[in-house]
Amino acid sequence: MDAIGNLLSNGTVQTLVIAAVGLIWAAIKRSERYKAWATEQHEKAVLAVEAAVAEVYNVFVRPAKMESPDGRLTDAERKQARELAARGAIAYGDSTGVDVEKTLGQEYLDLYIQQAVAKAKRGG
């Protein structure tokens, strides 16, 4: 026990302990800031998808439905609308400083588009 007391009374050891505690505290704070930043990026990416879906609806889907005899999109038109929404979301994201593909995941981008379409159809 005396050895530990002698060690902790050493100025160099005290400095190292204080520095280690400071580094741990800084890492915790950085982690909280990173989580807040990541959450903000995710929210911006989702907004970019929703904005793109709204624009594609107004510019492409609505006119295509009006020209269609049954008021519905063909499979090819639905595919084109999804592609336009994905490109639009990526462009909106770029303009607001968020990488939509990286933030949401390229493999999930179509899912977010589907969710935005469903939300828009519900009036949300």
Segments making up each domain of the chain, as ranges: 38-121
Q: What is the predicted pLDDT for the residue at 5?
A: 65
Angle between helices 11-56 and 75-96 (to 10 degrees): 140
- For the four alpha carbons of 110, 112, 116 and 119, in that order, the dihedral sign comes to positive
Give the three-class secondary structure for 124. coil
**Cα 115–chain centre separation:** 14
Q: Residue 76: pLDDT band by 50, 70, 90 thresholds?
A: very high
- For the four alpha carbons of 78, 80, 86 and 89, in that order, the dihedral sign comes to negative
* Residue found by looking up tokens 């800031």 in the block: 33
Per-residue pLDDT at 1 exceeds 60 = no
Structure-block tokens of residue 77: 């038109």
